[in-house]
Structures are given as structure tokens and as C-alpha cells.
């Protein structure tokens, strides 16, 4: 099944992205660990702190999903952040 990312109306649920999240974790362990450490602080020092992670996930998603806009990719990044927060804080 191919996931199609849309915005402003989401065409997926956060959990639909879990297989991609797990794939990103396995294929990019260094970036994922850096991201986990940033998110575990529970407070960003500024938006620039996640810029590199966001760009890595954006490029990863672009090669694996259908997407209609940059905003839809950013929305998917927000869902990835929900998934990592659940992993860290639950």
C-alpha cells in the first residue's frame, strides 16, 4: 500500500506512518539517536535544533510516499514526532 500525504486534510492516520518510522530508525541509526536525544529533553532550544532531522526525514519520505506539497511532508514529520514522543515518554 502506498501512502499519499495531503494537506490541509490529512489522508492518513499517525499510526499509518509507523512502518516508515521504524524503517527510518533502522536505516538512519545515527540521525535517529541524535533526534531521540533532542526530543527526550522535552523542550527545544529553538526551531533550528530539529532542522537537520526534519530535512533527513523529509528526504526519506519523499522517496517512499506520494506527496502533494511541502506542507504535507511537514505534517508527516509532525506525525513522526508524535511517534517518537510516544516511544520516549510512554
Note the pTM of the prediction, 2 decimals: 0.93
Domain ranges of the chain: 4-89
Contacts of 80 (CB under 8 A, 6+ apart): 17, 21, 24, 57
Least Cα distance to 80 among 50, 48, 47 occurs for 50
| Model confidence pLDDT, tens digit, residues 18-76 | 999 999 999 999 999 999 999 999 688 888 999 999 999 999 999 999 999 999 999 99
Amino acid at each position: 500500500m502506498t501512502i499519499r500525504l495531503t494537506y490541509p486534510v490529512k489522508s492518513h492516520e499517525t499510526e499509518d506512518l509507523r512502518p516508515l518510522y521504524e524503517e527510518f530508525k533502522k536505516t538512519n541509526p545515527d540521525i535517529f539517536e541524535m533526534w531521540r536525544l533532542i526530543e527526550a529533553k522535552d523542550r527545544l532550544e529553538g526551531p533550528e535544533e530539529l532542522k537537520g532531522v526534519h530535512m533527513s526525514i523529509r528526504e526519506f519520505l519523499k522517496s517512499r510516499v506520494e506527496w502533494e506539497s511541502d506542507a504535507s511532508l511537514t505534517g508527516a514529520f509532525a506525525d513522526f514526532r508524535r511517534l517518537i514522543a510516544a516511544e520516549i515518554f510512554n
